[in-house]
Structure 1
Amino acid sequence: MTTTTPLLNPRVIALAHYASRALLENVLTRHGATFQQSVTLRLVTVAGEPIEREQLVDGVVGALKIGATEAHSVVDELIAAGLLAPQGPSRVRITDDGRELYDRTGTETAPVTARIYADIPAEDLATAGRVLTLITDRADAELAALNK
């Protein structure tokens, strides 16, 4: 029996996403964190400074394709856990505990990620990146049109 490499399609993308996400969630669970919280912490971390709460919520909504109410709940969970803190009337910042969690989970997942991507030629990764970005942009546009 011969197997062929499947063309890129929604199922192939979903299988790659869920396999990778399961590995990340395994690490996050050991630290009492969720995938949604991890995505939210990342957005605050890469901002490099306190961020407007509404801007953060918009980023979480865009990244996770969830409603604003759910995104606000994730921010509230992180504040209650001491991983984010309010800064002024409308901003939030990452706390030392939040930064430690973000860094620790990143450090724990880095070797696994390196093994997964090992030996994939850079040009293949660049092509995959371009194609997946194009698919994401188009899917986001379709979703925006549906929500008008």
Structure 2
Amino acid sequence: MNRFVRWLSASALALLATIVLLPQPAAAAPIPCGHDCLGISRDAICWEKEWCAVPIEIKGTLPKEGYALPYRTADGTASAPADYTEVREGVLWLKPGGSLQLEVFVEGDSVRERGETFLIEYLDREGRVVATATVVIRDGV
């Protein structure tokens, strides 16, 4: 009995150490969107053959005139143009009281496959990536 309790205690301790020591997901990087404004990119799950909404959460106050947020898409395990419609240079206008989401089209095929991913990369004025959102494509077949 004592041997079993020690084994159980050691197993529980090993499990706890594994959980604590596992790398945690990175916090979403803030996107500057004005003097008193930060946007937080959020990931999205989308289905094939549909428009997909990728949300952006705003912290603070957007400028009255709005804010132009440059973005582009990048391949992950999904690739354009077979899996989604590529955007090489896009601009999302963030406006107070407006919709705070980016829409991309997810292509469809007749092949059954596991979930695939691609990225939305948000850029600063110099074209550097400041934040990303991961889009997971679910198979509609």
TM-score, length-scaled by structure 2: 0.26
Larger CA Rg, structure 1 vs 2: 2
Structure number with higher strand proportion: 2
Higher RCO, Cα 8 Å, sep 6+: 2
Query: When you count helix as a share of all residues, which structure comes out higher?
Result: 1
